[in-house]
Amino acid sequence: MNINLLVIRTEKPEILKIQYEKLGFDFDYHKHEKGPFHYASEQNNFVFEIYPLTKSMTKADGNIRFEFDIPNLSMVINKLKDTDWIIKSDIKETEWGIIAVIQDLDGRKIELKNK
């Protein structure tokens, strides 16, 4: 089984899009039928979307945690050190591989794994 879609919601889609672009995502801005405008990035049969909050939401869910395999982990972490990403755990070797943990503006923790 592979995951092929991840949707996150935020109060500030434009700002979060800029943050995730620093990880290498390229986003298009579009909408589907009557749905809201949102950002979508598609790479390697995986779609990552950033949507605005729904009317019933008061804030983004900061408890979601996910992982991205990325090339050149050390280079990416060095570039993120002077940005709005929070580095929760610098690069370390674990039983699951070489990873670092960062946090986005909404509080989501993202594991970056060396590809």
pLDDT (tens digit per residue) in 14-52: 999 999 999 999 999 999 899 999 999 999 999 999 999
Q: What's the CA gap between 67 and 97, in Å, rounded? A: 12
Are 54 and 9 spatial neighbours (Cβ–Cβ below 8 Å)?
Answer: yes
Please give the class, per CATH, of domain 5-53+64-114: alpha beta
Q: Which residue has the tokens 């960062």?
A: 102
Query: How much is the mean pLDDT over the chain?
Result: 95
Is residue 1 very low, low, confident or very high in pLDDT (cuts 50, 70, 90)?
confident
Find, among 35, 95, 106, 97, the residue nearest to 68 by Cα: 97
Domain extent listing, the chain:
5-53+64-114
